[in-house]
Chains A and B, each alone.
Chain A
């Protein structure tokens, strides 16, 4: 049975009108949010910093860095000889119904020498994991999808570091189709501290290599949902004596996004000031010299807003920050506001359903050759029976 669309029609009508009302309510909220942000920008850096200190460790919003909060920055000219690389990853999660227990990570990437007229170099690296130590966590439990995502993220950063080393000595910008913080670590760190720390340290090691090679790295987040800067704006409006958990939670702008705010404050091509991510995970990054900062960027004339995350060593270096800014803007026009190298990296990395089916067939054949019964479970078999809809010709 496919999705019963006729039965959804009434619900879809209700959904449409409810979303329209929500949008109208958010639009009404935006002027107050903007005023709160302007209030924050009008505070002295010391006063704003003191307010953030009062909020303590449980504050989950942006922290100001060194730039004036309300300022919008234009990109410097693109440098000659610039190399822009992108990487993205795809995966096949472990499936206990498959012929064997394994998972696959594939990373695709390319490096484009701007101004050369040459086709970029491309690379695709697939890796299949099947050993017991790959498939089980520190307590012997089967690993979950979050751990696979973590290994994929580390492989992506490894691919970018490899490009950076290959182009050492040239201006180089590496782009990642994601934030720089390893979010999987926050999800599963409590249960799998040892395994997560191993992946995290490998990831930070790749960032070390990128920095040592003289390159820049940035995580590009399209259509960001975060409201970190709005949390800062709310915090700034609280009287110092009333900064507590309850007041922080009563943020009237939490339904809005930073994207909505900066779509009013930026013009095409401009970036916002840099902010510091206050996630507890950022302390691990800071300890290794890679504290994550972020800014918002209007990537094109259609007023697309992206969130761009960079390590502190990029954010604090005017040349490197400008290089990242200019490189992203240069990559966006041909692909509608999203960097070209990331579009292609995804294309090089993606594992399709057809690929999965073929891989599963190859694994089954290989197992049979080794005199092993490599069969999918009966449940998986029955799902395949009903996967394709029956079509009756009239």
Chain B
């Protein structure tokens, strides 16, 4: 698996269930909720596939001081927005791994290495990884994260990287899988289906 773009940070904490990445980037380059990403594990033998579900901006006292100031110069504002790299932290839920031969949709054998670079998955990699939908039940078993919103975001981004002609079919297939998983919780199912509706 080769790097498809610049890293979106490095792993700072991790477990088999997922990892936390941190990066200092200007705002346009921040990852978004539901982004598929990967981080190296097992000394390069595997890549943990993650789904970003929580972005937070670390405390920045200078930004707070400037926000409270009434006398900020336009050049200082531009400096903060263009030059100052905002410290962003994000959490990624492990939804599978790549072992050199292909993707597996289950928890990885080992978490990523600390300070391993985190990359976005390319469109092609997202397409291949999401061909199977076994990552959905894996997500449902995780407590204390916004599972439904994350599932909807993941399905929509997986559909978005497919050709126009395949998108509707993919969404219908994903909806059927969700219906199978949540058949006993109709309220939740209805809300999720509404969220992924084309």
Name A residues whose Cβ lies closer than 8 Å to a Cβ of B.
Answer: 110, 112-120, 122, 330, 333-336, 340, 343-344, 347, 358
* Contact indicator per residue, chain B 89-120, by CB within 8 Å of chain A (1) or not (0): 00000000000000000000000000100000
| Residues of chain A lying within 8 A (CB to CB) of residue B81 | 119
Most A CB contacts (10 A, CB to CB) among B69, B75, B81, B115 go to: B75
One of A110, A114, A334 near B66 (C-beta < 8 A): A334
- From the candidates B65, B79, B115, name the one contacting A119 in the complex (CB within 8 A): B79
Chain A contacts for B62, CB-based, 8 A: 335, 343, 347
| Bound: A375/B66 CA distance, A | 44
Given contacts A333-B69, A333-B71, are A340 and B76 in contact (CB under 8 A)? Answer: yes
Which B residues fall within an 8 A CB radius of A? 62, 65-66, 69-76, 78-79, 81-84, 115
Asked whether B83 lies within 8 Å of A122 as measured between CB atoms, the reply is: yes
CB of A110 within 8 A of CB of B78, answer no
A117 to B75, CA, bound (A): 5
Asked whether A112 lies within 8 Å of B79 as measured between CB atoms, the reply is: yes
- In the assembled complex, the Cα of A113 lies from the Cα of B65 at a distance in Å of 22
A19 to B75, alpha carbons, bound, how many Å? 42
Question: Given A119-B82, A122-B83, A347-B62, are A334 and B69 neighbors across the interface (CB < 8 Å)?
Answer: yes
Tell whether, in the assembled complex, residue A117 and residue B83 are in contact, meaning their CB atoms are under 8 Å apart: no
A-side contacts of B79, CB under 8 Å: 110, 112, 119-120, 122, 344
Judge whether B78 and A118 touch: CB under 8 Å: yes
A199 smallest CB distance to B (angstroms): 31
Tell me the bound Cα distance from A120 to B76 in angstroms: 8
Q: Which residues of A contact B72 (CB under 8 A)?
A: 334
Q: Interface of chain B, helix or strand or loop or mixed?
A: helix
Query: When chains A and B are docked, how far (Å) is the Cα of A115 from the Cα of B73?
Result: 8
Chain A residues with Cβ below 8 Å from B74 are: 117
Please name all residues of chain B whose beta carbon is closer than 8 Å to the beta carbon of A117 when the two chains form the complex: 74-75, 78
Contact B73 A119 (CB under 8 A): no
29 CB-based A-B contacts, threshold 8 Å: A110-B83, A112-B76, A112-B79, A114-B75, A115-B75, A116-B75, A117-B74, A117-B78, A118-B75, A119-B78, A119-B83, A120-B75, A120-B78, A122-B83, A330-B73, A333-B69, A333-B71, A334-B69, A334-B71, A334-B72, A334-B76, A335-B62, A335-B65, A336-B65, A340-B73, A340-B76, A343-B62, A344-B79, A347-B84
Report the minimal beta-carbon distance from A336 to chain B, rounded to whole angstroms.
7
**Structural contact, B75 and A119, CB atoms closer than 8 A:** yes
Give the distance to chain A from B52, nearest Cβ to Cβ, in Å: 23
User: Closest 3 A-B residue pairs measured CB to CB?
Assistant: A333-B71, A119-B78, A119-B82
**B65 contacts which chain A residues (CB < 8 A)?**
334-336
CA distance A114 to B78 in the complex (A): 12
Residues of B within 8 A of A340 (CB): 73, 76
Separation of A115 and B78 alpha carbons in the complex (Å)? 12
